[in-house]
Amino acid sequence: MNRAALAATLILAACSHDPSKNGSGGGEGGIVDVAPLRTDWTPEQLKAACEEAQKTCDAKLAKIVAVKDSERTYANTPEAIEQVTTDWSEMVGRASFMKDIHRDEKVRAAATACEEEAGKYAARIASRKDLYLAVKAWQGRGEQVGPQDRRLVELMMRDFHRAGVDLTDEQREKLVSLRSRLAELQTRFSSNLDEDTTSVEMSAEELDGMPQSYIGRLKKAASGKYIVTTKYPDYFPFQENAKSAEARRKLEVAFMNRGARDNIKLLDEAVGLRDEAARLLGYATHADYVTEVRMAKSARNVQQFEDKLESRLKERLAADRQKMSEMKKADTGDGTIRAWDWRYYLNELRKRDYALDDEKIRAYFPADKVMSGMMDVYSRLLGVQFKRVEGAPVWADGVSLYEVRDGGRLLAKFYVDLFPRPGKYGHAAAFGVGPARQLQAGYQIPLTILVVNVTPPADGKVAHLTLNEVEVLFHEFGHVMHGSLTTAKYASISGTNVATDFVEAPSQMLENWVYQPEILKMISSGPKGEAMPQDLIESIQEVVGGDHVLPGGSAIALRRRLRPHDERLRRGLLRLSLERGLCRRHVHPVREGRNPQSEDGTRLSRHHPRQGAQRGSRPVAPQVSRARAERGRLPAADRDREAERVELAAFCRSQNPAARKSCAAGAVCVGNSSGTPSAPRARMNVEGVASDSGAFARLRESVSFRLAVPAGLVLLLQIPIALIDGTIAERRTTRNAAFAEVSATWGGAQQLVGPVLTVPVVEPSANGPETVAPRRFFPRTVSVRGRVDTEVRRRGIFDIPLYVARLHVEGTFAAPVETHSGILWNRASVALGVSDAKTIRAATPISLGDRKLPWEPGVGDAAFLESGVQAAVPFPAPPAGAIPFAFDLTLAGSGRLAVVPAGDETVVTLASAWRDPGFDGASLPVERRIGASGFEATWRTMNLGRGFPASWTNPQEVTRERLAASAMSVSFLSPVDTYRTNERAVKYQLLFLGLTFFAFVLFELLAPLRIHPVQYLLVGFALCLFYLLLLSFSEHFGFTHAYAIAAAVVVVLVTGYVRFVLREGSRALALGGFLAVLYAFLFVLLQIQEYALLVGSIGLFLLLSGVMWFTRHVDWYALGSPPPAAKVSERADLSSAAPWSDGR
């Protein structure tokens, strides 16, 4: 046995210790058989099971939290949390695993939803501070426990801290929100790949070079062409054997684009969310957060390791690339190795130099023999036995259930799912769906599902595997053994629940046994049952043991080359999008625009796509069109590179500084087939980009300039705002004109004055004839009681409120104290002032003393009365004592009803069904009641507070103005003056425009993006349009409904447009949410006039505080500056790292 095999044996032995020898493990007390995998779910059953598991877990955790701190033990707190969460995890794990293997699309969709919810729920559990405090309280009791128990608590507390229990409640909720969204993105990302059905139709000519066994199992399309899918058993053999470069290119592009349109967006969002979550926890990057709990311990250690690895691989990769380039040049005249070439020429290289033919090797690897031989190898090494469970229920053909035994003792069970099918998980992985752990009844054995996608059988023949598929099978079976032989006490530390960068170590060592001669003989069987020939084994050995670098090394080199791009992604300097496929191309050798979801996406997925990692498979973005070049003067390869350079340079000039410099670095990578940059072109391209960086360009990129442009646009937008303000005034004038037109015929605002007693008095004169002057008296008491009936009539689009007042007026006049003979009592009269006498609907005769006297039109010489009625009341003799009076009056009016306090004591009581009265005038009601049925109000005033006397002869003492200034009144107008409210709303337009544009500037600076002034203007016009919509809608629907409609349509319009401007839905939703909050804030201000200043100033303070908080770490001086130019040369040097690179 060689050193690798020995090391693997020692590692597995360490991972699978025997608890009976140290007294700390599980396993005593018998075996608890694991339940088989249920696959007969309906979508409804699966959903219900996931929901029930969560409810059960919540209830059990609540009981754990409720335990008193003084009563906490290891069993009822840490161990109980572990077992409860493991029960939940196993339940939802089994259910959600259906998304990876079930045949029913609806069940897979339900399982995907279950997994999304499980991810969110797990994020909430991990950050529950009550659970953390419960465990901490138990720690304070000092209970002694075993080594595994201490390790469980250590990991539990570590994970609590990493889940944010040390954060504030608000920060912790934010972290849970981020991780919940990440769980959703992760599940969708994986499902998009699993559900992808991309295929390419190939003609018989395009299949030239493919073995007949491959062609024989392909389905045919209606066109008669063959359908080649992007599943591994179709893709890898085709790329390695198809002679047509164009056919390989078509399949490569299709393969690399699996799920790309959705997954690029998911990955882009996930990168930002991961970075935000890491920073919230105090880590510089997500990489630092992840590596902290791995053997690497830090992202820096990983970088240093890859640096060393790259230096060791560089020369060997260059030699392979040179050989492949020479082979292609001999075939086509062009030595450029593109992404769809390297697998083919690597295979040709192996055939030529090492006599390795994949199809010849494949003939010796029938699936049944490989499986039985592989189990024989592991059986001999680990001292266990494998038994196939005959008749066990399975979910598809090619699926089998096995038991792992140690003599008569059952250790584990596992399923094997070998062949691809629609909707199945597309990579290769070992899924642990039944955790190993110690229960009260004994040790629960683990259940693992081995999922691979090897070449399926064709036409009823036995399936044969390629050498790479055999290697993958050995690798994944290593994970099965790692999980099956565990005896750890708890699920959290059993099986493959170890550091992520260690979990691959046993499998990677075990997979290398495939290339050992004795192993190759054990797992191979030729057409006649013979083992693989020795010469073929020696050829394989020569490749594996020589200087030749297999695809795994190429993938490592590519990842190293992509590191600067990855770092920029993590810092938010470069975002992923389909629209930016061209700019991404500088870090990928695929001309059509390679999709970085593969490099980062494998880390986003919850699974380990090990088969993809072995083969360097990576999904890619859609095609990017080529620019036209001067094709007549350049060779074919140079024409391609020149076209790409021209297009790339043009694209770069349209980008912001960070993206432009990144593109410039990519342009340097455009070079010749040797991998070194073409100096003249590279220099021209970089200088072409740099030439845009003159004084004006620097000014344009400065923060001050970016702030000044929106500020200038805000001033420019005051022109449409002024026009809208004028429109509001114009509409108010139109409304007032309509009101006046109706009031002129129905009746306007009414003011009641009196009654007034007038008695002529003869005044003697020493120098001339006697004069007769009227002496006027207001009553001593006046009481007005009445009901005001209202109705609303429309004139055009305007509502005009009208009323009819039915009043009863009574009171008393005091007899004048003057008794001289000059008073002409026989010519006395009573006058009643009404603003518009023609609207009097009815008036009963006035009862004055014991007489009833009819009213006559006019008010005589009472100039202080605008209009009204009068009655002659001749007294035969001077009256003695008080003179009572009473009458009823019905008059129509609109807008306002006022009563002048004519008496020394005046009491007015009015009632109406109008629910929104406005009480104004010189005094307010002393009593009032306003409700759904209307209002009732009472005024009481004394003559001491009014501005006119009780009796007078001088007409200057009582005027209309003095009377109006003392009147008590109630208004019957609309509760909300829409035009006045619209004017108030327009006054806040500077706040809306300024804050929205400032948010744009922040996105532009921090994203980074370039937003054109025209785009600012369009958004500004939309914000201005809000006020015009509000005005027009409020005339028809009322202000509240109009405000909601106008705000909603503008928010939707701006959000939808900004989605394309900012190129990311989350940013657009954030801005839309910000606008919605602003509109809600403005609505509140418009409703609370009295507190508008207080609420507005507090709101602005909070807004400013938020901006200062979120930008506290922003280096404003650095925002307008591009990254250092040194990155260009670094990127150029790295461009030659991949074996297929042509310098791009």
pLDDT tens sequence across 241-255:
999 999 999 999 999
Cα distance between residue 23 and residue 487, in whole Å: 12
What percent of the chain has a predicted confidence (pLDDT) above 90?
24
Q: What is the band of 601 on the pLDDT scale with cuts at 50, 70, 90? A: very low
Residues in the chain: 1144
What SS3 state is found at 670? coil
Own/partner long-range contacts of 1016-1021 (Cβ < 8 Å, ≥24 apart): 1016/709, 1016/710, 1016/713, 1017/713, 1017/716, 1017/717, 1018/1057, 1019/1054, 1019/1057, 1019/1058, 1019/1061, 1020/713, 1020/714, 1020/717, 1020/993, 1020/996, 1021/717, 1021/720
Region of poorest pLDDT, from 450-459, 629-638, 1051-1060: 629-638
Cα distance between residue 264 and residue 314, in whole Å: 30
Q: What is the band of 74 on the pLDDT scale with cuts at 50, 70, 90? A: very high
Cα distance between residue 992 and residue 453, in whole Å: 57
Q: Are 873 and 851 in contact (CB under 8 A)?
A: yes
According to DSSP, the residues that pair with 632 across neighbouring strands are none
Cα distance between residue 421 and residue 423, in whole Å: 6
What is the identity of the amino acid at 302? V
Region of poorest pLDDT, from 172-186, 226-240, 499-513: 499-513
Supply the pLDDT for residue 956: 79
What SS3 state is found at 762? strand
Cα distance between residue 323 and residue 307, in whole Å: 25
Mean of pLDDT over the chain: 77
Give the 3-state secondary structure percentages of the chain, helix then strand then coil, rounded to 5: 55, 15, 30
Among 863, 868, 916, 908, which residue's Cα sits nearest to residue 891?
868
Q: Where are the alpha helices (DSSP H) in 524-596?
A: 534-545, 551-570, 581-584
Own/partner long-range contacts of 358-362 (Cβ < 8 Å, ≥24 apart): 358/237, 358/240, 358/241, 358/466, 358/467, 359/211, 359/213, 359/241, 360/536, 361/466, 361/467, 361/532, 361/536, 361/540, 362/455, 362/464, 362/465, 362/466, 362/467
What is the identity of the amino acid at 1123? P
Q: Which residues are catalytic?
A: 476
pLDDT digits (tens, 9 = 90+) for 973-1014: 765 677 777 777 787 777 777 777 777 777 776 655 667 888
Among 736, 752, 755, which residue's Cα sits nearest to residue 893?
752
Q: What is the band of 485 on the pLDDT scale with cuts at 50, 70, 90? A: very high
Among 619, 543, 545, which residue's Cα sits nearest to residue 588?
619
Are β-strands 781-795 and 905-912 bridged in parallel, bridged antiparallel, or unpaired? parallel
Q: Is the pLDDT of residue 9 over 70?
A: no
Q: Where are the alpha helices (DSSP H) in 366-423?
A: 367-382
What SS3 state is found at 912? strand
Q: Is the pLDDT of residue 311 over 90?
A: no
Q: Which residue has the higher pLDDT, 345 or 676?
A: 345
Number of other CB atoms surrounding residue 931 within 10 Å: 8
Cα distance between residue 43 and residue 619, in whole Å: 30
Supply the pLDDT for residue 824: 77
Q: Are 874 and 868 in contact (CB under 8 A)?
A: no
Q: Which residue has the higher pLDDT, 727 or 97?
A: 97
Cα distance between residue 1029 and residue 1027, in whole Å: 5
Report the Cα 588 to chain-centroid distance in Å: 29
Q: Is the pLDDT of residue 551 over 60?
A: no
What percent of the chain has a predicted confidence (pLDDT) above 70?
78
Cα distance between residue 349 and residue 1020, in whole Å: 62
Cα distance between residue 232 and residue 234, in whole Å: 5
Are β-strands 771-777 and 856-857 bridged in parallel, bridged antiparallel, or unpaired? unpaired
Cα dist. 222→225, 226, 400 in Å? 7, 9, 35
pLDDT digits (tens, 9 = 90+) for 903-926: 888 899 999 988 788 888 888 888
Distance between start and end Cα atoms, the chain: 45
Cα distance between residue 332 and residue 323, in whole Å: 14
Say what the pTM is: 0.51
776 membership: H or E segment, kind and range: strand 771-777
Q: Is the pLDDT of residue 277 over 80?
A: yes
What is the identity of the amino acid at 736? N
Q: Which residue has the higher pLDDT, 1108 or 1091?
A: 1108
- Half-sphere CA count of 797, side-chain side, radius 13 A: 12
Cα dist. 470→191, 373, 418, 465, 837 in Å? 26, 11, 11, 6, 108
Secondary structure tally for the chain: helices H, strands E: 41, 29
Taking CA 1118 as the corner, what is the angle to CA 1116 and CA 1121, rounded to the nearest 5 degrees? 130
Domains defined for the chain, CATH in brackets: 3-13+365-531 (3.40.390.10), 43-194 (1.20.1050.40), 196-355+550-690 (1.10.1370), 701-726+979-1119 (no CATH), 747-975 (2.60.40)
Cα distance between residue 459 and residue 475, in whole Å: 29
Region of poorest pLDDT, from 397-401, 548-552, 706-710, 962-966: 548-552
Q: Is the pLDDT of residue 686 over 80?
A: no
Cα distance between residue 257 and residue 263, in whole Å: 10
Phi then psi for residue 46, to 5 deg, are -65, -45
Q: Is the pLDDT of residue 403 over 90?
A: yes
* Among 56-70, 219-233, 634-648, 929-943, the range of highest mean pLDDT: 56-70
Q: Which residue has the higher pLDDT, 822 or 39?
A: 39
Q: Are 181 and 276 in contact (CB under 8 A)?
A: no
Q: Which residue has the higher pLDDT, 522 or 863?
A: 522
Number of other CB atoms surrounding residue 765 within 10 Å: 9
Q: Is the pLDDT of residue 366 over 90?
A: yes
Cα distance between residue 1080 and residue 1048, in whole Å: 11
